[in-house]
Amino acid sequence: MDELLQNLTVTAKDYAGRKGFDEDFLGQHVPLPGLAGVESVLLPYTHFSVLMRRDKRLAAVTGVGIDGSTLMDLDRAGISWKLDPRLPAEQQTGERVYTRNDIDRGHLVRRSSAVWGDTVAEAELANEDTFHYTNAAPQAAKFNQGLELWLGIESYLQEHAAQYRSRIVVFTGPIFSALDPVYRGVDIPLRYFKVAAFIHQGGLAATGYVVDQTPQLADLPDVSRPGVTEDVPPLGPFRTFQAPIRDIAELTGLDLDQLVAVDRMPVATTLGAARVGSTWRELGAAEDLDLDFDLKD
């Protein structure tokens, strides 16, 4: 009912001023990755954009620019999750999926990453925009609330941007697969990816990461699709990996060629025909990141 009332009072015209993700944010043209062969719709917000997959009712990818020189510390008090009136409600994953269970609305674009601007009003609008269901993905509560390392990676990059007053672009999204359980009509992604892009010594650089909340399934390649269930799907402890961006492109179908070419994970230059997943580096802390440079350089 709250979603219905919200959509009666907020219309697509209210979003006319949203500019979305700035593809020239880094001073070099870095577009939001596209997804060929899948019906999608691009939704611009304040400082970020969401490419929605109509078939999955979830985002294929989100893109946000983080301006370390104008980040603000705003709280989330009083902000409610809402549907986006620019997209039919049946093409979004709304409150029904998150009711009476341990499934969280997991932000894809982190709230703190989007909250910046030249004015407080700009930062406040970005803060509110991150609370659209289009920017959420269903995640086990322990996965979302206790994901210190996954959040820590972006925090590490965000703090670097703030400390050195620099800019970073982050693309995030689900990795859909045949193993994903279907809960209340929505696929629950078992894996998520993050790709960070930034300027290093005058050139574009990027790094990629994958989080897996079902290691017991990931280790069993012959497990069949769990199928449709009204019960909350069993989701195990998470593992976080640094992964070649090439692998992320292969798993998601997203066009990441530009960032594959500037991947700063050392093994990325010698992948050859290596099997997807065979060179992933499991992380225990942000300090375990495997880069061929120092972020402070």
Tens of pLDDT along 251-287?
999 999 999 999 999 898 888 888 998 999 888 776 7
Question: What's the CATH fold of domain 2-288?
Answer: Extracellular Endonuclease; Chain A (3.40.570)
Average model confidence (pLDDT) across the chain: 84
The secondary structure element, H or E, covering residue 60 is: strand 58-67
Give the pLDDT score at 181: 83
Q: What is the DSSP letter of 132?
A: B
Instruction: Of 213, 219, 235, give the one whose Cα is nearest residue 277.
Output: 219
Query: pLDDT category, 232, cuts 50, 70, 90?
Result: low
- Ordered strands of the 167-175 beta sheet: 40-44, 48-53, 58-67, 167-175, 191-200, 203-212, 239-242, 281-282
Domain boundaries, the chain: 2-288
Give the pLDDT score at 223: 36
Cα dihedral 236→240→243→246 (10° resolution): 50
Query: Mean pLDDT across the stretch 85-95?
Result: 93
Asked whether 50 and 91 are in contact (CB, 8 A), the reply is no
Give the pLDDT score at 164: 58
Give the pLDDT score at 216: 43
Model-wide pTM > 0.85: yes
Query: Mean pLDDT across the stretch 196-212?
Result: 89
Q: How far apart are CA 235 and CA 216, in angstroms?
A: 9
Tens of pLDDT along 31-44?
999 999 999 999 99
**pLDDT of 229 above 90:** no
Which of these ranges, 132-141, 157-166, 185-194, has the smallest mean pLDDT? Answer: 157-166
Query: Mean pLDDT across the stretch 182-188?
Result: 87
